[in-house]
Amino acid sequence: MKKWTIRIFAGLAGLVLLLILGTFYLLGTESGTHFLVSQAEKQLADNLQIGSCTGKVLDRIELTDILFNSPTGKAKLGRLVLDWKSTDLLHLHLNILELTAKDISYTVIPQPPATDIEESEPLILPDLALPISITL
């Protein structure tokens, strides 16, 4: 009975370790980031196209020639850079060192006018207490 408990615990510990290593591979390596970008493009089919990707999600990532299509419009970005300190999340702090977007354009696709527009009260958002602090 004791051997089975040890085997089950070792198996669960191995699965947790495999999950941690897989997450680090996807977020902490450039090839993992390329895989995530390609999967995002596949999942969004013709709605998302990214020309190139350099860097890592957990450090600094740079995307170029981004095209996003939606039923309401088309967005194009020439270059998007996100540089942040991921280790600060352990202290519940989001520290963004650089967030840059260049050559941005958005084209609205005309929509037919809505026929039934009800007048309603303006939207009032509640005060939010975020569990982390943010530095830009």
Determine, yes or no, domain membership for 20. Answer: yes
pLDDT at 122 over 90: no
Percent of the chain, pLDDT > 90? 58
Residue 33's pLDDT is what? 93
Residues 58 and 28: beta-carbon distance below 8 Å: yes
Asked if residue 119 belongs to a domain, the reply is: no
Percentage, residues of the chain above pLDDT 70: 95
First to last CA, the chain: 55
Half-sphere exposure for 122 (CA within 13 Å, toward CB): 3
Instruction: Report if residue 123 sits inside a domain.
Output: no
Task: Compute the distance between CA of residue 90 and CA of residue 113 in angstroms, rounded to an integer.
Answer: 48
∠ CA 132-41-17, nearest 5°, is 55
Q: How many domains does the chain have?
A: 1
Annotate 17-57 with DSSP letters as a single string.
Answer: HHHHHHHHHHHHSHHHHHHHHHHHHHHTGGGEEEEEEEE-T
Express each pLDDT in 53-73 by its tens digit.
999 999 999 999 999 999 899
Helix (H, G, I), strand (E, B) or coil at 118: coil
Q: Is residue 10 in some structural domain? A: yes
Q: Which domain holds residue 63?
A: 2-111
Confirm whether 71 is domain-assigned: yes
**15: in domain:** yes
pTM: 0.76
Residue 26 lies in a domain: yes
